[in-house]
Amino acid sequence: MLGRLGGRWLRPPPVLQPGAPGPHFAPAATGGARRAALPAWAVASVSAVDPGGAGGWYEALAASAPVQGAEEMLLAAHGVTGLPWWGSILFTTVALRGAVTLPLAAYQHYILAKVENLQPEIQNIAQHLNHEVAVRAKQLGWSKRVARFTYLKNMQRLVSELYIRDNCHPFKATVLVWIQLPMWIFMSVALRNFSTGATHSEAGFSVQEQLATGGVLWFPDLTALDSTWILPICIGAINLIIVEIVALQKVGMSRFQTGVTYFVRGISVLMIPIAATVPSSLVLYWLCSSFMGLSQNLLLRSPRFRQFCRIPLTKGDSDTPYKDLFAAFYAKYISRK
């Protein structure tokens, strides 16, 4: 074992050296049914924001190329499908989720599965390296600090070599977040622009006017708030279900993982009052996006779909994932006394 100290397992340590105006609200719409009044921040045109003031960053975002691209995509979907605006929003959301985030989510699971399958090899390397460092520390009289430093540096190097060998660095699993979050923001700002300002027009009618009659059921006006709070509550409920599904997959979570879970739960609840203060077009998009996220999460638990995506089998995979999920949910939230 000592003969390998200068090679793969161990490398010697380096030498250590020591007054603004108050809020106001837009008046309710005149004519037929009265719609819920929007806060001034939600209805003010982005052009009214002082570029040099605190809202300059939002003006730049609302006029940015990605947001304009999202607006053009929504207009194209509305024009090609001929659907009412509520249908166009749902169609665009489902298309984006299916074409962009679902493949990225499958890739994320692919990377995480390969990392999980490396854990036995990583544990074996850790045991051998720990022994070799202990032997060398005794021979050379290293302090505990030097020995620990040497172990960590070499362990990091060896694990990185494994990730390179199997092409599965965990950072690659974060690609989904870096794509999905900006896309969500750009789509939200684009719908906000449509709902609060005449930034585009079709056939002589502004998109804002079309959205005002483009809703359905209890939210016929997509530029108004959902005064019933049905859509906001549904968003919070679906997001909480997603959080619980992910939490039920993990056994023996660390304190950090538990803290993250509670934080995301809090964000899910906070989304309810936030969604109640923005136009229904945004809330409809958020609801559809959350529902697609839930469906995507459940789909990626399917053994057949995972096999189709060539996601490697892991020790924790089950042949009956949905049955196991229901059993875990029942045991945690229903059967306990």
Distance CA(301)–CA(297), nearest Å, equals: 7
Using a CB cutoff of 8 Å and minimum separation of 24, what contacts does 248-255 make? 248/325, 248/328, 248/329, 248/332
- Residue 142: partners with Cβ closer than 8 Å, 6 or more residues away: 13, 136, 150
- Write out the two tokens for 310: 């060539």
The answer to whether residues 309 and 106 touch, using CB atoms and an 8 Å cutoff, is: yes
Partnered with residue 239 across adjacent β-strands are: none
Q: Which pLDDT does position 9 carry in this prediction?
A: 53
Q: Can you state the angle between helices 280-299 and 175-196, rounded to 10 degrees?
A: 160
Q: pLDDT tens for the chain, 337 residues: list them.
A: 333 444 455 555 554 444 444 444 444 344 344 445 455 444 444 444 444 444 588 788 888 888 888 988 998 898 898 899 999 999 999 999 999 999 999 999 999 999 999 999 999 999 999 999 899 888 888 888 998 999 999 999 999 999 999 998 889 988 998 999 999 999 999 998 888 874 655 544 588 888 888 888 888 888 888 889 999 999 999 999 998 888 877 666 677 778 888 888 898 899 999 998 889 899 999 999 999 999 999 999 999 999 999 999 888 888 888 888 888 887 777 766 5
Distance from C-alpha of 42 to C-alpha of 267, rounded to nearest angstrom? 21
DSSP state, 98? Answer: I
Pull the structure tokens for residue 252: 């023996």
Query: Cα(292)–Cα(261) distance, rounded to whole angstroms?
Result: 20
pLDDT of residue 104: 93
pLDDT at 258: 80
pTM of the model: 0.76
pLDDT at 261: 83
